[in-house]
Chains A and B, each alone.
Chain A
Amino acid sequence: MALNIESDYGRFRRIVRGKIRENLRKYMTHGELIGKKGKDVVSIPLPQIEIPRFRFSPKQQGGVGQGDGEEGSPLAPGEGEAGGHKAGNAPGQHILEVEMKIEELAEILGEELQLPRIQPKGKHKIESLRARYTSISRTGPETLRHFKRTYREALKRQIASGSYDWEFPVIIPVKEDVRYRSGRPQKLLMSNAVIFYIMDVSGSMGDEQKEIVRIESFWIDAWLRVHYPGLETRYIVHDAEAHEVNREQFFTIRESGGTMISSAYKLLREIVAREYSPEEWNVYGFQFSDGENWGDEDNSLCISLLKDDILPHLNLFCYGQVSSHYGDGDYIKVIESGLPGFDNVALSRIENKDAIYDSIREFLGKGK
C-alpha cells in the first residue's frame, strides 16, 4: 500500500506549531479527547484545524437526543463562543472536571527538544530498555501469562458452551483462552543525570524577570522529568550569597539584595565535587539572571571558576539572560568573550514571555 501518512502528518504538525501556513493557525481549535488512565480522567490535547465553510451559528442549532429527563432539564453547560461550535451537535459529551496533565503539555512543548550529549555513565545504567506491560494480547511468552484474564476467558467460554458445572466449578483453560500481558519496551534513558538550576533572586530582578525565569525553568524541568525519568534535580538561588533550596522553594522564593554570581558557582562546584563524580554522572546546569553582577572583580572570578572547575565536568551549561527595565546586563557578554572554545555552553537572551519558547529551544533544540 502506498501510504504517505508520515508526510501529511508532519505537515499538519508543522502547521499546528506555526512553522508554515501561519494564516491557518487562526482556525485552530484546542480540542481535547477525554480519556481515562487508571482512575484519572485525563484530557488529551487534540489540536484541530477547521477550514471555514458556510455553517449555522452554533447556538441557534438544536438536535435530537435520546434518554431520560424532563423538558427543560439541562444536558451540558454551554460553552463560550470560542469552542462553542464543538458543542453544537453533541451535548452531554463534555466532562466538567478535566485534569490537564502537565506531562502532556510538556510533550507538546518538547516534541523537538532533546537533552544533548547525554552519555552512558555510571553503574546505574544497567538497563536502557524497560518493558511496561500496559495491555493484553492473545499471544506471548508463558512467563507473561495473565492468570486472571485467562481465567475469565475460560469461565466465559465454559458458561457460554454449557460446560460449566455449578456443582463442581472447575475451570480448565484451553489454548484460545490464554491471555498475556503485553507492552512496548520503553527507552529508559540514563537514570544518572543531574540538573542544576541556578536563579538570581537579587533586588535588581523585578517580579516580571523572576516570573520569566520561573516559567522557563518550570517548563524545562517539566519537560525533562517526562522524558528522562529518574533524573536528579538540584536548585540553587543566590543574591550575594547562594543557598540550596528545594523545588517548591525555588519556584516561590522571594529575596532581595546584591548580586554575586560567583557565590552560586562556588556552591555548585562544592555540590558536584561532593556528590556527583563526573565519571558517573551527566551534569547539566541552567542559570538565569538579569546579567547585573557585582563589578568586574566578581565577573573575572566567575569566568575562572567556570573555566577551571565547572565547565570541564558539565555536559552542558546554559545561561539565560532576562532583559529588565534597566536594559540588558553585561554578564552574557562577559561569558561570550571570556569563554572561547567551550562548545558545551549555550547562551540565550530572553526579552519577554513570548521569547521563552525560543529560548528553551536554543537550550535544548535538537542538533545542538
Chain B
Amino acid sequence: MMLPSHLNSMRAQVEAIARAAGLDFYETIFEVLSFQEINMVAAYGGFPSRYPHWRFGMEYEELSKGYAYGLQRIYEMVINNDPCYAYLLDSNADVDQKLVMAHVYAHCDFFKNNRFFEKTNRHMMDEMANHATRIRRYVDKAGYEEVERFVDVCLSIEDLVDPYQPERPPRLPLAGKEEEPVRPGEMPARKEYMRPYINPPEELERLGEELKKKREAAVKFPLRPERDLLLFLMEHAPIEEWRRDVLSIVREESYYYAPQRQTKIMNEGWASFWHSRIMTTKALKDSEVIDYADHHSGTVAMAGGRLNPYKIGLELFRDIEQRWNRGQFGKDYEECDDLAARRTWDLKLGAGMRKIFEVRALYNDVNFIDEFLTEDFCRAHKLFTFGYDEDSNNWVIKSRQFDDIKRQLLFNLTNFGNPIVAAEDGNFRNRGELLLMHRYEGMDLRLDWARDTLQNINSVWKRPVHIFTMLNGRNTLLSFDGTGHSDKEMEKPA
C-alpha cells in the first residue's frame, strides 16, 4: 500500500529536514504493510521475491511467534537499493512513523555514502527476483529436493567470502581449461643458419622436458590463500553448470549482505543519531514528546547486560561530535592528564558535524571501534567483557579494563566474530585434494559442525577435503574423504 496522504505530507517534511541537515540519499519509496506482511518481507531478508527455501519459513515462524506473544515487533525495514525501499508497520502511531522515516533516511544516506557499500548492487530488488527465477528453473530441471539440498550445502559455506574483495568475477574459462604448451626460451641467433648450432634441437627438447616437470611439480593453486571459497569452488570444482550458478547466486547475496554486517553498529548508530536529532530539533510537535521519548528509549535501551548496537553507535557518534566540536583530540589533549582540564577542554573548533560525516563515509565497525572507543566512554557506559567460567559453570564478568574490552569487542567484530578460513591448496598431496587453513587465533572450531561442513564441501569438491586447525592446543588436520572422518596431529603443511 502506498503512503496515505497524511503520512506522505509527513514524509515530505522529514525528507526536507534531512536534506537540509546534509543527508544525501537515493530516492526512497515508502510502503505501509500490516504486521503479517512485514514479517514475511523481513523473513525474506527485505525482498518480496526470493527463491524458495525452508529457512525463510523458519525466520517467518520466529518473527510471527515473537509478534504474537508481544516479544518483538519490526517497526521498519529499509532496503539498500536505488531507489531505496522502506516498509512501515501500519499499526505504528503517527509519531512513530515520523521517527521511523527520519531513521530510514539516515540509513539510506549511510547506504549511499559509506565506502563499504560502494560495490553493492544497487539494483538488488531486480537481482533477487532474477535469482528466484533462475533457481525455480533449476527446480523444474533437477527437482525440488535436489536443488534444496544443494542450496543447503552452499549456505553451509556462504560466509566463506572475502569481504574486502567483493565483486571479483570468476576467472574464465572455468574448470577444465586447456594448458598452454610448454616452450623453452631460445638463445638469440643473428643468422638463421646459425640457429641449430646455437640452439641444438636435442638440447631444446631436454630443456622442454625439464620445464614441463618443473611446472607439474608447481601446480599449486590457488597461488595465494583464497578466502573466497565460493569463488574458488566455482572456478575449480567439477560440478554441473546449474550448481555453479547456485553457488554464484549464494555468493552474490552473501556479498550483498556483508557490508550491512560489517557496519551494524555504525549504521544503526547513524540512523539513531539522526532520528533523534531530527525529531528533537525540528520535527516533533509538543503533544508527541512523550510517545517519542517512550519509543526512542525503547530502541536504545540496554537489556540484560547485552550490548545494543543502536545505543553504542548512537553514543559514539554523539561522543565524536562533541569531541571534535571541542577539540578533545590530538597530541595536546591525549597528553593532558589533568582530569578537570580534560573535562572542560574546549577549543571551540565546531568541527563535530564535519567529522561525523567523514566517519560515516570512511569507516566500518572494526576501525570505528578501534579509533573512537575511549576509556572514558567505556567507564561512562559501564562496559565489561564476559566469558565462560568452567569452575562455576557460569557466564561471568571477566574484566572492566579498557584494553580488554576493546580487544574483545574488536575480536567479536573481526570477520563478524567467525573463524577465518581460506583455501590453501587445491592439489594437496598432489592428489587433487582440497586443503583449507584455519587461521588460528586462540579459539578452537566447533568440532561437530566443522566435520559436517567438511562433508558438505566434499560433496562439491568430490575429492577428499581437509582443514588444518588447532584442537586442544595441538595442530590437527581434520579430514573427510567421502566416506569417513579422521583427524590427526601434524605439523603445519608448508
Contact = CB atoms under 8 A, between A and B. Distances in A.
B152 A51 contact: yes
B207 interface: no
A37 interface: yes
A131 interface: no
Contacts of A62: 385-388, 398, 408
B37 A1 contact: yes
A65 B383 CA distance: 6
B13 interface: no
B145 A21 contact: yes
A64 B452 CA distance: 30
Contacts of B336: none
A34 B385 CA distance: 25
Contacts of B145: 20-21
B382 to A, nearest CB: 6
B52 A7 contact: yes
B58 A51 contact: no
Interface string A144-167: 000000000000110111100000
Interface string A85-116: 10101111100000000000000000000000
A75 B418 contact: no
Interface string A127-155: 00000000001100000000000000000
B398 A46 contact: no
Contacts of B349: none
B298 to A, nearest CB: 16
Nearest to A90: B306
A177 to B, nearest CB: 11
Main SS at interface, chain B = mixed
A69 B398 CA distance: 10
Contacts of A91: 305-306, 386, 395
A269 to B, nearest CB: 45
Given A33-B65, A74-B392, A53 B286 contact: no
A126 interface: no
A162 B412 CA distance: 47
Interface stretch (A10-18, A205-213, A247-255): A10-18
A90 to B, nearest CB: 6
A37 B53 CA distance: 32
Interface stretch (B173-181, B238-246, B440-448): B440-448
Nearest to B411: A62
Interface in B141-172: 145, 148-149, 152, 155-160
A139 to B, nearest CB: 10
A8 interface: yes
Contact of B394 (A11, A60, A61, A75): A75
Contacts of B398: 62, 71-72
Contacts of A89: 412, 417
A172 B285 CA distance: 19
A85 B417 CA distance: 13
A297 interface: no
B45 to A, nearest CB: 12
A56 B157 contact: no
Contacts of A37: 69
A66 to B, nearest CB: 5
A48 B40 CA distance: 17
Most chain A CB neighbours (cut-off 10 Å) among B395, B398, B443 = B395
Interface in B340-394: 381-390, 392-394
Contact-size category for A: 35 or more
A4 B71 CA distance: 25
A24 B145 CA distance: 12
Contacts of B308: 66
B428 interface: no
B131 to A, nearest CB: 13
A194 B337 CA distance: 82
B307 A65 contact: yes
Given A3-B44, A33-B71, A60 B443 contact: yes
A160 B383 contact: no
Contacts, number: 240
Contacts of A72: 389, 396-398
A92 B302 CA distance: 12
B290 interface: yes
Nearest to B469: A54
A51 B288 CA distance: 45
Contact of B290 (A33, A74, A138, A159): A159
A33 B66 contact: yes
B60 interface: yes
B49 interface: yes
B71 to A, nearest CB: 5
A55 interface: yes
A183 to B, nearest CB: 13
A52 B452 CA distance: 6
Contacts of A10: 57
B421 A78 contact: no
A77 B393 CA distance: 6
Given A57-B447, A89-B412, A2 B160 contact: no
A76 B419 contact: no
A1 B288 contact: no
A12 B302 contact: no
B40 A5 contact: yes
B286 A161 contact: yes
A64 B396 contact: no
A9 B61 contact: yes
Nearest to A49: B58
Nearest to A58: B446
Nearest to A79: B393
Contacts of A69: 305, 384, 397
A160 B284 CA distance: 12
B56 interface: yes
Most chain B CB neighbours (cut-off 10 Å) among A37, A64, A67, A93 = A64
20 contacts: A42-B69, A48-B62, A54-B160, A57-B444, A59-B390, A61-B443, A62-B385, A62-B388, A66-B305, A69-B397, A74-B389, A74-B394, A76-B394, A77-B393, A78-B395, A91-B306, A92-B395, A156-B290, A160-B289, A161-B287
Given A12-B54, A56-B446, 10 more contacts: A1-B49, A5-B44, A5-B57, A7-B52, A53-B453, A64-B385, A65-B386, A71-B397, A78-B388, A91-B386
7 tightest Cβ-Cβ pairs between the two chains A and B: A12-B57, A9-B57, A62-B387, A91-B395, A8-B57, A35-B69, A92-B304
Interface of B: 37, 40-41, 43-44, 48-49, 52-58, 60-62, 65-66, 69-71, 91, 93, 145, 148-149, 152, 155-160, 286-291, 302, 304-308, 381-390, 392-400, 405, 408-409, 412, 417-419, 421, 438, 442-450, 452-453, 456, 467
Interface of A: 1-5, 7-13, 15, 20-21, 24, 33-37, 42, 44, 46, 48-49, 51-78, 85, 87, 89-93, 137-138, 156-157, 159-162
